[in-house]
Chain A
């Protein structure tokens, strides 16, 4: 039963230098065609399930005009929503305003996500972003007035030339906004981004780690719970939508470049606007057998603080995890913890979780 849905809006007013997601400059003609296509895709696939989460991401969904947003929500009104739905939209402070926020309230959006990334002028320049702190303060104030009580902001750290002091300043500012949820990402320089092309270099692995440690302890003393590698929230405000990914649950993904997990298929949509608008939505389908599913179970669940629920695993696959992956020595090494029938990576090792996950996968028992 699919209970989650992701919608991709690829348009942006400006392209950030680090961005590797599916995005493009906002051109009004494209937007109308795109929304038409999105509607067709949804209608052809959605089977009427009651949804627990909807997440509108981008690109920058808030870069759409009020009129375009109205059209978007009209399309999305097809979805049946549960009473406790978490309905999120991503925004940029540069193009959000009171009218759009009021529209969000009307259509039932109850969670807002904003990209701050950094407050430091030099770093903003490197990322090719703009940020007006007065506007930020004011926007958050309006959100609260309108009754939004679940707000996330994104932070990027480990930027070239960034110091711990810079990071401390960013965090201090974010705490002052008193939001419910904070996502933190260490800068990844991807090949086909402007940073990658300019051959920008990452900071040292050791400083990166120091920053991560700093974030963890700082969040803790500000009452944010570290519930997933990159995500912190006040009690009760973890992101239900993102958690569905880590729980290996099924989800719809609509729009260009979106991913879905439906039945036994992991589907990745095309990144080509032409193909998408021509009705060729899908680029790649990965068909999953039980072995693949069990592998995903490990890859995804181990990102969470409570790890893999071994009882859940057994009931899902009729096998114990230890009979599939012989991970026992990794417990002895202290990189995995078995507690209360949950297998998880201890928080101080989360930062090297990829290596630990690979170690688990390598211990697959064949036959």
Chain B
């Protein structure tokens, strides 16, 4: 029955207890019993469980009885980090309501607001929840005030402890009471939104769908409205969170559709599925495609794994439309891909998934934003990779993306944060007090400065108490130059970066010093230089190797010597040969770190 369905998601700032709350809901609805409950049940990737964050969304259908009525609750889990707001908005489109989780001691944070606004944009009914009330440091009264300040009523708010289970039953009742049932027409032609997909080696592409109108049944011939691909529905099922086959999915329901789809490119997340025999007139609005903001080159250390890397990226792109990639050739690193990401965390996670799930060792080059270059002939070029920067004499001006950056912080850190933002070429916009002790500071800052160690420094300046979020606002002209790094007199294209001219000398010096530390001594002296054009701005030298261990080969124990040499050989495998210089993987990321 459609009126007994509730589709909702949980949104929160990172680490406010979203996944634990989902676990408790699963437990309380009897979907799993306590014995089976691994921590963070919905996070199925190892990586998710280890990092304690949710990367891929996940939908689960739960039965819940209230006042003698059977309800079906479809919980759609969402990631919490700023980089994944795209995925958040995807899951929001499949829901009628959202639970906004706020930590009882941390209070409202930057992403609490960002996610709240996203949910409001999607016209969702919102239930504010104050979680972790069992903590000794919990201060629910203070958080209630904060929530009141952003427009909620005291009686709307539910207090819970996902850890102990307190309040979770009240929350379930509230979901049924407050969140509207889906409104679709089950007699209209089929319209189902693809809000996620993944590749299964046995069943092909599996799509997560929300049926908006009509009904889809096993053996139906369905059509993807954007790509016009047509497939037979092989199976439909819901996740309880065990896989359970169903014969049909009707308007308002959420589930999975498998149709032996072999071609990844036939399925676009955000597309609408309809019946081939009785197609809907028009598509659902779908999603605004997200544009990547951060680019980085990914190269396999083992050149033979280039094709494997392509396959890995294709599979990841399947349920991560925001990931973009195209082949890139580097003189230093060989064949790889220039990849676009939504942000730094997105980048790190993709890199880690490729290394872990696909077993490909990678070198990632320093991330870059997209620059707009106006040439002397007034033509405009977009540059996503420092090595593509045209020669200086051909450039009229360079514009770079700016973001509006909101930082939420306890007020005692205002000083250091403002210092950091000034350092980062930020322009102060305004500052608002949320209560006596917490402020939101807004700055206009170049994105490239955020990409370069901003988060690390923010964390260390504020002992981890501040949170931040950003959105791209516009492009502004800046005095930017390309800084090259030369090893043994040769430019290493993969190490080039675009920097503000005033910062170039300092950056150049830091990078050269870092590289000197990281590059091991070689058979010959290796000069490291930073240059702008032909002008060398910093120089260091890796001295020639002077000595390697001379084990006394005692009593003829040459097996031991061989083992020693084998160890030495192994160590070299993690290095990339650039010209005659062997460079360890870390070198390419060292350019990111400003730690002195």
Contact B551 A352 (CB under 8 A): no
Query: Which residue in A6, A284, A355, A359 is a CB contact (below 8 Å) of B555?
Result: A6
Interface assignment of B569: CB less than 8 Å from any CB of chain A: yes
**Contact A358 B523, CB 8 Å, known A259-B557, A259-B558, A352-B546:** no
Interface assignment of A193: CB less than 8 Å from any CB of chain B: no
Give the complex CA separation of A135 and B405 in angstroms: 79
Closest Cβ neighbor of A252 among chain B residues: B556
Within 8 A of B (CB), among A206-238: 206, 208-209, 212, 229-230
Bin the interface of chain A by size: 35 or more
Give the complex CA separation of A212 and B550 in angstroms: 12
Contact B554 A21 (CB under 8 A): yes
Interface assignment of B543: CB less than 8 Å from any CB of chain A: yes
Q: Which residues of A contact B557 (CB under 8 A)?
A: 259, 268
Closest Cβ neighbor of B545 among chain A residues: A352
Q: Which residues of A contact B547 (CB under 8 A)?
A: 186, 205, 208-209, 212, 351-352
Bin the interface of chain B by size: 20 to 34
Give the complex CA separation of A208 and B524 in angstroms: 17
Interface assignment of A251: CB less than 8 Å from any CB of chain B: yes
Within 8 A of B (CB), among A342-367: 349, 351-359, 361-362
**Smallest CB–CB gap between A325 and chain B, Å?**
13
Give the complex CA separation of A268 and B61 in angstroms: 63
**Smallest CB–CB gap between A222 and chain B, Å?**
21
Give the complex CA separation of A212 and B545 in angstroms: 14
Contact A259 B569 (CB under 8 A): no
Q: Which residues of A contact B523 (CB under 8 A)?
A: 333, 335, 349, 352, 355-356, 359
Q: Which residues of B contact A257 (CB under 8 A)?
A: 555
Interface assignment of A307: CB less than 8 Å from any CB of chain B: no
Give the complex CA separation of A212 and B547 in angstroms: 9
**Smallest CB–CB gap between A128 and chain B, Å?**
18
Question: Contact string, B534-569, partner A, CB cutoff 8 A, digits 1/0?
Answer: 000000000101111111111111110110110011
Give the complex CA separation of A361 and B567 in angstroms: 12
Question: Contact string, A10-21, partner B, CB cutoff 8 A, digits 1/0?
Answer: 000000000001
Contact B546 A259 (CB under 8 A): no
**Contact A351 B548, CB 8 Å, known A260-B556, A358-B572, A362-B572:** yes
**Smallest CB–CB gap between B301 and chain A, Å?**
15
Give the complex CA separation of A124 and B65 in angstroms: 84
Interface assignment of A299: CB less than 8 Å from any CB of chain B: yes
Q: Which residues of B contact A206 (CB under 8 A)?
A: 543, 546
Contact B555 A8 (CB under 8 A): yes
Q: Which residues of B contact A351 (CB under 8 A)?
A: 546-548, 550
Contact A245 B559 (CB under 8 A): no
Q: Which residues of A contact B565 (CB under 8 A)?
A: 299, 354, 357-358, 361
Contact A355 B551 (CB under 8 A): no
Q: Which residues of A contact B550 (CB under 8 A)?
A: 185-186, 188, 229-230, 351, 353-354
Q: Which residues of A contact B551 (CB under 8 A)?
A: 188
Closest Cβ neighbor of A356 among chain B residues: B523
Contact B546 A296 (CB under 8 A): no
**Contact A284 B559, CB 8 Å, known A333-B523, A352-B523:** yes
Instruction: Supply 16 A–B pairs (Cβ within 8 Å), ascending by A.
Output: A206-B543, A212-B547, A245-B556, A259-B557, A259-B558, A260-B556, A261-B556, A295-B562, A299-B561, A333-B524, A352-B545, A352-B546, A354-B548, A354-B549, A354-B568, A355-B568
Chain B residues near A (Cβ < 8 Å): 521, 523-524, 543, 545-559, 561-562, 564-565, 568-569, 572, 580
